[in-house]
Amino acid sequence: MNDSVLTPVIAIDGPSASGKGTVAARVAQALGFHYLDSGALYRLTALAALRAGVAMDDEARVATLARQLPACFDAGEILLDGEPVTEAIRTEECSVGSSRVAALPAVRAALLDRQRAYRQKPGLVADGRDMGSVVFPDALLKVYLTATAEERANRRHKQLIEKGMSANISTLLQDLQERDARDAARSVAPLQKSADAELLDTTQLSIEQAVQAVLDWYQVRLAAL
Ligand code: DC
């Protein structure tokens, strides 16, 4: 039996704020699988560059930071050099920075082995932009999870308000559309639905319905082995 069956991967890709992180984490929990938030690695790289005063477009130096990233994921907390940065990597500055460093081929290459190392028994749910196309091309199930830009901006707005932060919906929508365009237009591993991925449009779905859809597809894949 090959690794795609022995250590199965569920790859969930999609645009910013589509809810794929929440869905992926819950699918992982339901199956008792490991979970990889690959976007966090790009965000950590951007934060490391900001802190080291390295320009986001200095490909060689940012790639070195990515390769040596002293990061660890510990019970829901993300640490950089031992310091909790779970909130710090979600700032707008880090979001924009991560989208810029993610466009650099040497940075993507530097993070490849680290991402693949998360593939451990009994299995892995990985979310990002290129989980199914580049990092785990032999994933047992690939899902492209999306929602309209308006719905994604609404969800982000609600999240920020709930956290007591101020937010403007039209600015959020514009930021999302700019980030989508940058993620889709880059030359390496652009954001796109691959032909072998299931399309999951969550515009009209609850989180529970989206999680169930992924679990149902997974059962179909297992039954077909
Ligand atoms: O999923 P996220 O918003 O946390 O991702 C942050 C940035 O990293 C986003 O601009 C896209 C990029 N990214 C990527 O290029 N490839 C991945 N596998 C994950 C994220």
CB distance 99 to ligand 1 below 6 Å: yes
CB distance 176 to ligand 1 below 6 Å: no
Average pLDDT over all residues of the chain:
93
Name the residue at shortest CA distance from atom 18 of ligand 1.
128
Domain ranges of the chain: 3-224
pLDDT band (50, 70, 90) for residue 183: confident
Q: Using alpha carbons, list the distances in angstroms from residue 38 to 12, 75, 111, 158, 163.
A: 10, 16, 9, 24, 24
pLDDT band (50, 70, 90) for residue 16: confident
Whether residue 1 is predicted with pLDDT greater than 80 in this model: the reply is no
Q: Considering the chain, what percentage of its residues have pLDDT values greater than 90? A: 77
- pLDDT at residue 17 in the model: 86
Region 3-224: CATH code: 3.40.50.300
Average pLDDT in the 164-182 region? 89
Burial-class residue 169 by CB neighbours within 10 Å (0-12, 13-18, 19+): middle
CB distance 15 to ligand 1 below 6 Å: no
CB distance 128 to ligand 1 below 6 Å: yes
Cα separation, 180 vs 152, in Å, equals: 11
Average pLDDT in the 189-214 region? 93
pLDDT band (50, 70, 90) for residue 184: confident
Angle CA 124–108–90, to nearest 5 = 75
pLDDT band (50, 70, 90) for residue 141: very high
Average pLDDT in the 84-95 region? 91
Is the pLDDT higher at 33 or at 176? 33
